[in-house]
Amino acid sequence: MKKLINKPENFVKETVEGILLAHPKDLKMVNNNFRCLVRADEKKAGKVAIATGGGSGHLPTFLGFVGYGLADGVSVGNVFASPSSECMYEVDKAIDNGAGVLHLYGNYGGDIMNFRMAQDMCEMDDIEVEEVMVTDDVASAPKGSESKRRGVAGLFFAYKIAGAACEKMYSLKEVKNVAEKTVSHTRTMGVALTSCIVPQVGKATFSIGEKEMEIGMGIHGEPGIQRTELKSSDEVVEIMVNKIVEDLPYKNGDEVAILINGLGATPKEELYIAYRKTYTILKNLGISVYKNYIGEFATSMEMAGMSITLLKLDNELKELLDAPAYSPFFNQ
């Protein structure tokens, strides 16, 4: 296991300690618990708050998207493991501004169970909580079963849009609606070239040959749709983009935001080579790129690979996407 870490059992704690030392004006703990983090700036009365969370090992997801125009608080689990409902409940209480809280997170069993328990606890405190689950991974369930799909890098668009809606003082119901619209317009597909290693496990999560890649693999190493020999970047991008575009009705003249996301070990050079092909395929379909994001947004530690996400835009989504946002990991 080639990692620059100390004791594996301290991986998450020491990561968060480093983040809090580096960004004390941006993030703070609730109840001195490093697993419960919230924005450090002043709260805004009447603003809907967004809580998120999930397992560690995906930086900047999840905690990196706590900030202005994004989420307000986050619960931090162990690597690839859900945080506790108690932590989620403490975060909800800390971020509520009297206008309710949206639980915005990826569709994974442990997270669903715990966020719903926290929601029940909030109900007893008269804190209104709604939830929107992100289900953008087209490889994880067929068309028609969208609600069974996993949440991956497309979470970023949900944070960005819903977070901007909160800053514009949308009501809880309105924030929920626009987050649901974002999810319904977002599709992602990934490809993995190598495995990652969970620190406390100490060996690769899955094995993959020196000349193989897996198209559609999830960010925890969940099986994809095709284990194949290494293909060229253009070939891989074509498979991925076609699968994404087929999954929604697109027509000539549509506009999208593109996210080319590195899973950890993949150089930025390769992400731009993938952007080049993505752009060209879309152009040939009459789809134009309104905005692009290229870099690491949702990683699997040191996994090599990438994902491509398209968000189909309308005027409301464009306005919210363009709104300013800032966290220690994102600045627009």
Q: Which residues are catalytic?
A: 58, 220
Footprint of a second copy on residues 258-287 (CB under 8 A)? 264-276, 279
Which residue of 234, 246, 314, 322 would you call a contact of a second copy, by CB under 8 A? 234
We find the least distance from the C-beta atom of residue 219 to a second copy, in angstroms, to be 13
| C-alpha R_g of the chain | 19
Under rule CB under 8 A, residue 19 binds a second copy: yes
Using CB under 8 A as the criterion, what x/- string covers residues 62-91 for binding a second copy?
A: --x---------------------------
Under rule CB under 8 A, residue 288 binds a second copy: no
Which residue of 33, 205, 226, 233 would you call a contact of a second copy, by CB under 8 A? 233
| Cα gap 176→129, rounded to integer Å | 10
Under rule CB under 8 A, residue 21 binds a second copy: yes
Footprint of a second copy on residues 210-229 (CB under 8 A)? 210, 213
Q: Which is nearer to a second copy, 107 or 299 (CB)?
A: 299
Under rule CB under 8 A, residue 5 binds a second copy: yes
Using CB under 8 A as the criterion, what x/- string covers residues 184-213 for binding a second copy?
A: -------x-xx---------------x--x
Under rule CB under 8 A, residue 296 binds a second copy: yes
What tokens were used for 211?
């000349």
Q: What is the 3-state secondary structure (H, E, C) of the chain?
A: CCCCCCCHHHHHHHHHHHHHHHCCCCEEEECCEEEEEEECCCCCCCCCEEEEEEEECCCCCCHHHECECCECEEEEEEECCCCCHHHHHHHHHHHCCCCCEEEEEECCHHHHHHHHHHHHHHHHCCCCEEEEEECCEHHHCCCCCHHHCCCCCCHHHHHHHHHHHHHCCCCHHHHHHHHHHHHHCEEEEEEECCCCECCCCCCECCCCCCCEEEECCCCCCCCCCEEEECCCHHHHHHHHHHHHHHCCCCCCCCEEEEEEEECECCCHHHHHHHHHHHHHHHHHCCCEEEEEEEECCCCCCCECEEEEEEEECCHHHHHHHHCCCEECCEEC
Under rule CB under 8 A, residue 29 binds a second copy: no
We find the least distance from the C-beta atom of residue 175 to a second copy, in angstroms, to be 26
Under rule CB under 8 A, residue 325 binds a second copy: no
Q: Which is nearer to a second copy, 6 or 147 (CB)?
A: 6
Q: Which is nearer to a second copy, 69 or 100 (CB)?
A: 69
Which residue of 142, 201, 230, 242 would you call a contact of a second copy, by CB under 8 A? 230
| Cα gap 164→330, rounded to integer Å | 14
Under rule CB under 8 A, residue 128 binds a second copy: no
Under rule CB under 8 A, residue 124 binds a second copy: no
Q: Which residues bind a second copy (CB under 8 A)?
A: 2-7, 11, 14-19, 21-22, 56-57, 59-60, 64, 191, 193-194, 210, 213, 230, 232-234, 236, 264-276, 279, 292, 294, 296, 299, 301-302, 304-306, 329, 331-332
